[in-house]
């Protein structure tokens, strides 16, 4: 699908907008018509429920892909509107940060660890998602079913019994 607005430059955030999708997909433009983005892998054996939220354990992978292929049937546009409120890294550092994460796997949640959280972390080192709030999704406590980091809070997953770190 076509680009809406300005041509992307390295370090720009790209929003992929589907006509019937309730949420936008996000990526970081790294130049030469490529983006870095996270892609959720949904598998029933990898789902945990914590506080009524669904968390996909280690089910998001950071990928490097052609802009048009990632866009698929969605329109896309440069969306750096958070620059009004936050200071981004310079373009070279944003690209370096994005590329350094390619191939890594993360816990994924539509509420607290989605593709918009990822791109904002890469550009500003702050994880947040306006569309999670826009969708009236509750942002109480988020917990990942992986044990390699987080903020030191822990709880037990009600489905798999694994201790989680948020």
Q: Across-strand partners of 28? A: 13, 36
- Give yes or no: 151 in active site: no
Q: Is 48 a catalytic residue?
A: no
Residue 115: active-site member: yes
Which residue among the candidates 48, 53, 115, 145 is catalytic per the annotation?
115
Choosing from 25, 48, 117, 145, the catalytic residue is: 25
Beta bridge partners of 14: 27, 78
Q: Are 111 and 138 in contact (CB under 8 A)?
A: yes
- What sign has the CA pseudo-torsion 75, 57, 113, 87? negative
The half-sphere exposure of 110 on its side-chain side, counting CA atoms within 13 A, is 14
Residue whose tokens read 């109480």 = 140
- In angstroms, the CA 71 to CA 95 distance is 19
Q: Which residues are catalytic?
A: 25, 37, 115
């Amino acid at each position: 699908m076509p680009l809406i607005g300005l041509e992307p430059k390295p370090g720009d955030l790209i929003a992929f907008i589907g006509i019937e999708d309730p949420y936008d997909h996000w990526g970081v433009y790294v130049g030469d018509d490529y983006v870095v983005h996270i892609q959720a892998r949904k598998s029933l054996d990898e789902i945990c429920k914590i506080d009524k939220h669904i968390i996909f354990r280690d089910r998001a992978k950071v990928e490097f892909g052609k802009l048009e292929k990632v866009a698929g049937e969605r329109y896309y546009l440069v969306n750096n509107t958070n620059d009004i409120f936050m200071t981004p890294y310079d373009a070279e550092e944003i690209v370096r940060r994005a590329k350094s994460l390619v191939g890594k796997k993360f816990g994924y949640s539509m509420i607290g660890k989605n593709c918009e959280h990822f791109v904002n972390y890469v550009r500003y080192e702050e994880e947040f998602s306006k569309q999670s709030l826009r969708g009236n999704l509750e942002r109480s406590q988020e917990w990942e079913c992986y044990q390699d980091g987080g903020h030191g809070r822990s709880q037990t997953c009600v489905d798999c019994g694994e201790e989680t770190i948020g």
